[in-house]
Structure 1
């Protein structure tokens, strides 16, 4: 670029000398030409984890003007826009247009980026032009394979169950792994690294499937341990190992559950304690409720056994007076009510009035003052009664009645 500017300036100087010799006054240059890049866009490549300030390429622009009007300088555009944010990882040499990467880049976080480079002349006012520079990050094999299954933890993992009657080709398990790199660096291959019975199992080179190579025999131990090597296709290749175990069983009912972890044991113990406390509380509540109900029932029976239930005289008298006034009590009789706790022992008796002051017309026919008959449970018919035209008793007569 600098040689091109020197040649242009040399040609312009020769033209001016020729014009001077010919007696023609030289024409002063006006800054009417903007810089022009030799490419519409640039694509540059940088390897992942490269050293800081590594050179990745250069941009070039020419200006048809002469002198300061044709001197070009380069810089990164300050405003990249919303779709093209500012990138602090690139730098451009202002005189030569060289592009540098200022810091190492990680392919897994940044795969490519774009910046705008501006070329401006030294005229007044200066003219400028922009060009897009796309930086592509090349992947390096810096990530080892990651085994997803079987889980590689400190605690013993689960064992694969294999029946002893399984034939050759039986699928025991499958090793699943991934690689964060891309391209050939992420291609994985599997191989059996170590096994208790090397001739019993085989591992698929690309699939990672663990299968039986031959049928199980009685000489094979019940518990088998295998180690599978997982390797990527990078240069140099990176690898990881996956350990798994298999149980050769005649019947799957022989399998014993693995010991629970301390956390699960603590949780189970706490749950059992809560259940016991709840059961004891419910039992005590039931016993207290039962005792209260039994005590109330016993107290009620004792009160009933203390004596017959008596009703107040004024209450019965008022009730009989109302009944007589309504015409429902044809004769004046004394009633004895005896209530006990047993319904079978209750008695209801019809008795004659025991008050001698009652007039004879209010007594039943066929009964003298010296005669008393009990009618236990037998109603009195109208034929045995003398007609009573009054049909009612006065309040004074009811007050003279006695109730036993």
Structure 2
């Protein structure tokens, strides 16, 4: 429940209508701020693979009053199971006690966008934030050829944002050498409707299937296939039938999905980046979501962290008498958790996407599962937020 308070009201610009920007717009508008969201796309027509929302992200949606509506457009994910080409189990996390949920990016964007507009946020599509500058106690924001002054500009326009560096919040993001092909496919009667399934052949090949939505036609699955960015052109020029046969050799049970890939255009390339925030707020600027802490999707935490950022910013402004104090509190609350998860992501990613020999990884993960405490630590790193990341 959101109650009116005597806290100051601000005029706030948000760059980007992704999960971070829309969630922040919703929370801030409900608190009575004048909120404008500027998005370069002509509407809520999101691109990207399915999303995994971890339990702490579900808590954030509960705080936003959207949990019931979100559950209606998503599916539970209560297990993460990964096997190597040798048949070894490398990852098996039982999340039944605190399940995550899979969702399509379109469904989440529609839910957040509709709620933000209902709360009074103004959504400006086809109107990107092109540049910004601090002046006095506020910020001038150039958007779609116009310029407007705001008390605060929140940078939430994704991993490729060009705004965070001039705002003094982070250096430019560095692209990973590896990305992934992705696509959405519907399969009736899929075995493993609540499990995120993965198959690995060394560290060079990885394929996964994430449940995202139950439709009348069957379960909607998000397929992803690990691929180096510099190999994308060669893949586009390759024999697709031979590629499908390679996938079937690795995972024959997934034929109902793989057989639906009939053209190279059925899959898109997702490029991943890493950014390291110096701070989460400075002067009249704040940063959140992938613009602040872009990372590999191996942990499945990007959207969850974005939702937590949004609530933490609203909480900081609500709980302090000045904008500077509220932003300082937000930066303190979110900087350490962001860096902690980014460090974990950087350590884990080469275990699944690299050119190193995979047998060492396979042996370490297969054996590590049997070491007391390792399984618990792996599960806790994903489903139990560290101190400072609880939903306000």
Task: Answer yes or no: same fold by TM over 0.5.
Answer: no
More helix by share: 2
Instruction: Please classify the TM superposition score into its range, dividing by the shorter chain length.
Output: under 0.3
**TM-score, normalised by the number of residues in structure 2:** 0.15
Structure of higher RCO (CA pairs closer than 8 Å, 6+ residues apart): 2
Structure (1 or 2) with the larger CA radius of gyration: 1
**TM-score, normalised by the number of residues in structure 1:** 0.15
